[in-house]
């Protein structure tokens, strides 16, 4: 899994669209490098006080959709919108579904 930081929502000046988040994947700096990651699954993992299915950890899955701009930032869509507290937090970019 590759480390990434997620943060901002896709937005224009005064409107933001919370269904898509921007993810900065470590080591990816150009639009061309993003093509490898397109379609790969992304996981936002967080902890909660109440145990769900025996674990304090919870996960929101998503996938990399497309590049955002020229410098390697990526748009990701999650099964449910990411909570605002997650801005700036770690996100895991998986190596599957694989095409190698």
Partner 1 sequence: MAKTSRNPDLIRGVGKYSRSQMYHKRGLWAIKAKNGGVFPRHDVQPKSEPPAVKPPKFYPADDVKKPLFNKRKPRPTKLRASITPRTVLIILTGRFKGKRVVFLKQLPSGLLLVTGPFKINGVPLRRVNQAYVIATSTKVNIDGVNVEKFDDKYFAKEVEKKKKKGEGEFFEAEKDDKKSLPQGKKDDQQAVDAILLKSIECVPDLKTYLSARFSLMSGMKPNELVF
Between 9 and 23, CB nearer to partner 1:
23
Task: Tell me how far, at minimum, the Cβ of 16 lies from partner 1, in Å.
Answer: 29
Task: Tell me how far, at minimum, the Cβ of 80 lies from partner 1, in Å.
Answer: 21
Closest listed residue to residue 64, CA positions, set 89, 100, 15, 28: 28
Between 33 and 81, CB nearer to partner 1:
33
Between 11 and 90, CB nearer to partner 1:
90
Which residues of the chain form contacts with partner 1 (CB under 8 A)?
A: 1-2, 27-28, 33, 36-37, 94-100
């Amino acid at each position: 899994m590759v480390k990434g930081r997620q943060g901002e929502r896709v937005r224009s000046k005064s409107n933001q669209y919370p269904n898509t988040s921007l993810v900065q994947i470590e080591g990816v700096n150009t639009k061309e490098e993003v093509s490898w990651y397109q379609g790969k699954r992304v996981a936002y993992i967080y902890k909660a006080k109440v145990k769900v299915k025996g674990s304090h950890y919870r996960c929101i899955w998503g996938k990399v959709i497309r590049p955002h701009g020229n410098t390697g930032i990526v748009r990701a869509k999650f099964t449910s919108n990411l909570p605002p507290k997650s801005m700036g937090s770690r996100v895991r970019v998986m190596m599957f579904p694989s095409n190698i």
